[in-house]
């Protein structure tokens, strides 16, 4: 392969990948504001915050089939003593972003992904930081990120050992029980500590109880399970006991506010991270000091039927955004609002005087306007005066007038008007913040789009000039415009861009986004006649109608690939469509059985995208059945090998497949009995995983034996990572890959060669001479590769979202919560299928003597066509589902492009490396 071109492509796509974070998801944080708080006495002295990780609103508020509530205490609070509603979260619906939103009041900086949602990539303010003291109990992952961000020694955390959170343990609700017991012990020991007792009787203090059990049970047993329902009852009973404990300790002084909510919800199949309503709709229940009592709903504010479904339509429901919880908590205890909060105080939750509400809204307005002013000043300082455009609805005079008007209304006692005016100003200020947050979006988006078009033009030039016979060699790399003039023109444009960016103190990446299109279009423009020459050659050789037909088919093929991201059924339609391909060719006469095998494999595989997404239900018998089938097919294939290739490695691999199948069965039997993961099973699973990387290297590099060894090695690991029918999908995908190889080889000029005689390492010696040029049939091969890669992505589930995490897939390897190891195993599960497809693709272009670079460039061109469309489809507004889907689609297609190089490299390693090479020998095993 052309190493320079590969590195160039990789670097450019890294820039493309990074661009969406600078264009759509820049950090919302600004610094330089001062804290704002009211000077009035707050309604509460202390706040108790319960966060039930992974609690869905419908599971808490809804009734079971018998009409009984799962949370009798909280239901009683909703109906008789507090306020309630739905807290709408944002994507990504993960623990850290959710907690940051509800405790700090802003939506998480995307850079936190690199820290695994654990550490603070940037410092931020929070309700905990602004409190006098905060005591917290729960998981180290969540508590540490807030204690690390606090100033002074006023946050005290109590955490449990990592082993407490065991997905396969007998009782996944142990983290919640631990929290309730430790809080009880904490208050029981206060009589011996006068200093602690004095702190607990201070004003402006917070108690934070982080309850992880529901998230663990949801992942392990799904939200519709009895374990999840029982955990809700446990939380409900625990909250009741905690309220009694606090009330008794503080002698029922009526100065305690209580609030229960969740960081995110969970899908029916036990995952979260994306924008489904089950993930973004979390409950909020507030009661105690300063909280409004239940009231009639009044006018219907919500078009959905959730209140009716939950039998709560007789009560007023108050939905809020998750970030609104932070100013609510701060107002209840009288602490300054978190500096970067974008939450709007939900007035309806407060049971206080109109004056207090008006003053609180006024404080909220000042706090958000302070952020707006800092943001505006920053944009003004980093933008040339001729380019800068103020946010017109909020000029300096209008800001001053609005604030003076609110203050005058409060002084005149027109509190309701002051509240309305403050809320209107807040909305305008938030729109202004968004205006400056997205100020450079059009400019950067245009630059990146031009880079995409220039890059695709450059790739097309490389294909036409170096990998086809359409361009005479004498013209292939010769510039067609005056080189000096062109360099001066584009050089002047580049210098002008750099100077403007420098004067504006633009970030380093802005230079890459803006200079890259200049470089790419310079390379394209100086060889524009290459495209004209290719067009004339194709027109003369094939005719204009042929060009239009080919372009239409290419466009249609790319759009089919793009639609598969949105509708899995498109994959099924595509598989059925390509099933008839050999029948339409000469193969129906020359190699009828191969054509039939292709047809049957495509049709069978087309069934899987129509099945439910893997993870909805666990079906271990299907996994065991898949293991048995893989074992049976492996035995048949081994028996078909010529005796010279029947290495002892194959019986060993078949034994490993049988062992992996048994490990799945025994591990799940142990988990269901509440005994967890047996140590022997865990050790054997990891051994099989690591052995799968090296087993193929002990087999001959002859094409079919090596591919069989690769399939068996990775199928064993894949079985251990399966929970339902995806094991069968892996089997039929491997069979289809074999048929693909046979079809391509028999349709080619090398159709007479037997694949038993073709080696991955010495195929060049079998056919002397330079590699052939690309043909039209090679476009089909490249399209099939991309299509099968996407089929491996979406064949058993739509992973185009970050909510595909299902811990039950890794039970053979570990059950103690470890997001990085679990995430790595799940990514490897996805990569296995991609590697199997890529190894077959490598075998095809090896057998057909097509240079790897040629097909790689065709694949790259198709993938970039999809990426450009997804780039324009990325959204940061609309429903959370639309936002999450648009982000994940672009991230996935870019990841695939970036991984193609790695996949091809891995495929070459797995197909060509032999242990015998380490000793300098090249004999076949």
**Segment among 672-676, 749-753, 838-842 with least mean pLDDT:** 749-753
Q: What is the pLDDT of residue 438?
A: 85
- pLDDT of residue 822 exceeding 90, the answer is no
Query: According to the model, what pLDDT value does residue 189 have?
Result: 84
| 912's tokens | 């060509």
Q: What is the model's pLDDT at position 765?
A: 47
| Residue 88 banded pLDDT, cuts 50, 70, 90 | very high
- For residues 50-58, give the mean pLDDT: 96
Q: 335 near 204, Cβ under 8 Å? A: yes
pLDDT digits 0-9 by tens, 600-613: 999 999 999 988 87
Quickly list H helices, 109-173: 127-130, 140-147
User: Quick one: pLDDT at residue 853?
Assistant: 77
Weakest mean pLDDT among 250-259, 327-336, 531-540: 531-540
Q: How far is CA 94 from CA 117, 275, 281, 645, in A?
A: 8, 11, 13, 51
pLDDT of residue 419: 95
Say how far apart CA 745 and CA 848 lie, in whole Å.
Answer: 7
- Asked which of 47-56, 164-173, 262-271, 773-782 is least confident by mean pLDDT, the reply is 164-173
Indicate whether 886 pLDDT > 80: no
Confidence of residue 424 (pLDDT cuts 50, 70, 90): very high
Q: Looking at the predicted structure, is the pLDDT value of residue 919 above 70?
A: no
List pLDDT tens digits, range 289-312: 999 999 888 666 777 889 999 999
How much of the chain exceeds pLDDT 70, in percent? 90
184-199, pLDDT tens digit by residue? 999 988 877 888 999 9
Question: What are the contacts of 76-81 at 24+ separation with CB within 8 A?
Answer: 77/285, 77/287, 78/285, 78/294, 78/312, 78/315, 79/294, 79/312, 79/315, 80/294, 81/287, 81/293, 81/294
Asked whether residue 616 carries a pLDDT value surpassing 80, the answer given is: no
What average pLDDT does range 687-695 have in this prediction?
Answer: 93
pLDDT in tens, 789-810: 989 888 887 554 444 456 788 8
Q: Cα 272 to chain center, whole Å?
A: 10
Cα–Cα dist 814/311, whole Å: 41
Nearest residue to 834 via CA among 903, 784, 783:
903
Question: DSSP letter string over 10-50?
Answer: HHHHHHHHHHHHHHT--------------SSPPS-SEEEEE
Mean pLDDT of the region 378-385: 88
Residue 163 has pLDDT above 80, yes or no: no
Residue 150, pLDDT score: 55
Distance CA 315, CA 318 (A): 10
- At 315-339, the pLDDT tens digits run 999 999 999 999 999 999 999 999 9
Domains of the chain: 45-352 (3.40.720.10), 567-762+786-850 (no CATH)
The CB density around residue 28, as the number of other CB atoms within 10 Å, is 18
- The upper half-sphere exposure of residue 513, i.e. CA atoms within 13 Å in the direction of its Cβ, equals 24
- Give 354-374 as a DSSP string: HHHHHHHHHHHHHHHHHHHHH
Write down the pTM of the prediction. 0.79
Flag whether pLDDT at 67 surpasses 50: yes
Minimal CA–CA distance to 283: which of 136, 75, 107? Answer: 75
pLDDT in tens, 101-117: 999 999 875 545 444 44
Burial zone of 900 (CB within 10 Å; 0-12 exposed, 13-18 middle, 19+ buried): buried
The tokens for 740 are: 């693909």
How many angstroms separate the CA atoms of 93 and 91, rounded?
Answer: 5
d(CA 725, CA 714): 16
Long-range contacts of 878-881 (CB under 8 A, 24+ apart): 879/275, 880/88, 880/89, 880/90, 880/91, 880/93, 880/274, 880/275, 880/279, 880/280, 881/274, 881/275, 881/276, 881/277, 881/280
Beta strands in 57-183, from DSSP E residues, in sequence order? 82-88, 133-138, 155-159
Backbone angles phi, psi at 258, to 5 degrees: -125, 140
**Structure token pair of residue 517:** 């299109």
For residues 791 and 808, give the distance between their C-alpha atoms in angstroms, rounded to a whole number: 23
Q: How far apart are CA 498 and CA 385, in angstroms?
A: 17
For residues 893 and 860, what is the distance between their CA atoms, to the nearest angstrom? 11
Q: What pLDDT digit, counting tens, does each position of 449-498 carry?
A: 999 999 999 888 888 887 777 776 655 555 555 677 788 888 999 999 99
Task: Return the exposure string of 326-342: e unless at least 16 CB atoms fall within 10 Å of the residue's CB, then b.
Answer: bbbbbbbbbbbbbbbbb
Percent of the chain with pLDDT over 90: 44
Residue 579 CB contacts under 8 Å (≥ 6 apart), including other chains: 598, 599, 602, 603, 606
């Amino acid at each position: 392969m052309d190493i320079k071109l590969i590195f160039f492509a990789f670097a450019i796509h890294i820039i493309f990948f990074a661009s969406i974070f600078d264009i759509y998801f820049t950090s919302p944080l600004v610094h330089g504001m001062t804290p704002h708080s009211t000077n009035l006495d707050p309604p509460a002295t202390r706040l108790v915050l319960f966060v039930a990780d992974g609690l869905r609103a419908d599971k808490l508020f809804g009734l079971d089939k018998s009409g009984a509530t799962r949370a009798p205490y909280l239901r009683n609070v909703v109906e008789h003593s507090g306020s309630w509603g739905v807290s709408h979260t944002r994507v990504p619906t993960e623990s850290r972003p959710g907690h940051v939103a509800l405790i700090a009041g802003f939506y998480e900086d995307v850079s936190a992904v690199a820290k695994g949602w654990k550490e603070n990539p940037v410092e931020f303010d929070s309700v905990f930081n602004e409190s006098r003291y905060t005591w917290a109990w729960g998981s180290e992952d969540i508590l540490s990120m807030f204690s690390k961000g606090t100033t002074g020694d006023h946050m005290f955390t109590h955490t449990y050992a990592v082993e407490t959170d065991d997905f396969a343990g007998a009782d996944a609700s142990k983290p919640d029980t631990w929290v309730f017991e430790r809080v009880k012990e904490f208050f029981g020991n206060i009589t011996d500590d006068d200093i602690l007792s004095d702190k607990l009787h201070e004003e402006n203090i917070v108690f934070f109880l982080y309850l992880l059990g529901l998230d663990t049970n949801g992942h392990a047993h799904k939200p519709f399970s009895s374990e999840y329902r029982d955990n809700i009852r446990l939380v409900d009973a625990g909250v009741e006991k905690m309220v009694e404990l606090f009330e008794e300790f503080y002698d029922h002084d009526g100065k305690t506010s209580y609030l229960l909510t969740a960081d995110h919800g969970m899908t029916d199949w036990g995952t979260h991270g994306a924008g489904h309503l089950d993930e973004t709709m979390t409950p909020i229940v507030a009661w105690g000091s300063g909280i409004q009592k239940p009231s009639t709903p009044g006018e219907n504010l919500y078009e959905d039927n959730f209140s009716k479904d939950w039998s709560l339509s007789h009560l007023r429901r108050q939905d809020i955004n998750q970030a609104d919880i932070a100013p609510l908590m701060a107002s209840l205890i009288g602490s300054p609002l978190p500096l970067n909060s974008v939450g709007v105080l939900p007035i309806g939750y407060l049971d206080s005087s109109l004056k207090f509400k008006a003053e609180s809204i006024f404080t909220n307005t000042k706090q958000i306007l302070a952020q707006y002013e800092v943001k505006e000043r920053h944009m003004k300082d980093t933008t040339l005066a001729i380019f800068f455009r103020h946010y017109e609805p909020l000029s300096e005079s209008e800001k001053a007038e609005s604030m003076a008007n609110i203050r005058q209304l409060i002084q005149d006692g027109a509190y309701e008007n002051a509240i309305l005016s403050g809320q209107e100003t807040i909305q305008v200020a938030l729109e202004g913040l968004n205006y400056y947050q997205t100020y450079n979006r059009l400019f950067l988006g245009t630059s990146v789009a031009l880079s995409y078009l220039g890059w695709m033009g450059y790739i097309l030039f490389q294909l036409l000039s170096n990998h086809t016979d359409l361009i005479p060699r004498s013209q292939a790399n010769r510039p067609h415009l005056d080189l000096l003039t062109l360099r001066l023109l584009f050089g002047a444009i580049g210098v002008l861009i750099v100077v403007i960016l420098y004067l504006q103190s633009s970030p380093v990446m802005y230079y890459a986004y803006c200079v890259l299109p200049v470089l790419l279009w310079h390379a394209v423009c100086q060889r524009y006649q290459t495209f004209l020459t290719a067009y004339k050659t194709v027109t003369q050789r094939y005719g204009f109608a042929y060009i239009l037909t080919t372009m239409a088919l290419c466009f249609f093929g790319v759009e089919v690939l793009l639609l598969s991201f949105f509708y899995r059924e498109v994959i099924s339609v595509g598989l059925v469509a390509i099933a008839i391909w050999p029948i339409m060719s000469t193969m129906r006469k020359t190699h009828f059985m191969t054509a039939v095998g292709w047809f049957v494999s495509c049709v069978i595989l087309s069934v899987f995208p129509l099945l439910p997404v893997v993870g909805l239900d666990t079906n271990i018998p299907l996994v065991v059945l898949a293991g048995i089938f893989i074992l049976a097919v492996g035995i048949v294939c081994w028996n078909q090998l010529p005796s010279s290739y029947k290495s002892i490695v194959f019986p060993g691999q078949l034994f490993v497949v049988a062992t992996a199948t048994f490990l799945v069965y025994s591990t799940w039997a142990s988990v269901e009995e509440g005994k967890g993961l047996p140590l022997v099973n865990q050790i054997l699973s990891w051994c099989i995983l690591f052995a799968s990387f090296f087993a193929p290297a002990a087999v001959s590099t002859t094409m079919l034996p090596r591919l069989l060894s690769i399939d068996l090695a990775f199928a064993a690991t894949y079985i251990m990572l399966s929970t339902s029918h995806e094991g069968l999908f892996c089997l039929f995908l491997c069979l289809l890959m074999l048929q693909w190889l046979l079809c391509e080889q028999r349709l080619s000029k090398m159709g007479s060669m037997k694949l038993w005689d073709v080696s991955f390492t010495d195929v060049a010696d079998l056919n002397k001479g330079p590699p052939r040029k690309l043909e039209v049939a090679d476009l089909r091969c490249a399209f099939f590769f991309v299509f099968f890669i996407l089929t491996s992505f979406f064949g058993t589930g739509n992973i185009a979202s970050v909510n595909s995490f299902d811990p039950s897939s890794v039970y053979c390897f570990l059950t103690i919560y470890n997001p990085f190891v679990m995430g790595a195993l799940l990514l490897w599960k996805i990569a296995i299928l991609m590697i199997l497809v890529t190894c077959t693709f490598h075998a095809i272009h090896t057998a057909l003597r097509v240079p790897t670079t040629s097909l790689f460039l065709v694949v790259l061109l198709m993938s970039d066509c999809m990426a450009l469309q997804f780039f324009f489809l990325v959204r940061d507004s609309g429903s959370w589902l639309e936002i999450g889907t648009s982000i994940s689609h672009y991230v996935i297609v870019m990841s695939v492009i970036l991984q193609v190089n790695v996949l091809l490299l891995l495929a070459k390693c797995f197909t060509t490396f032999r242990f015998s090479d380490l000793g300098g020998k090249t004999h076949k095993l």
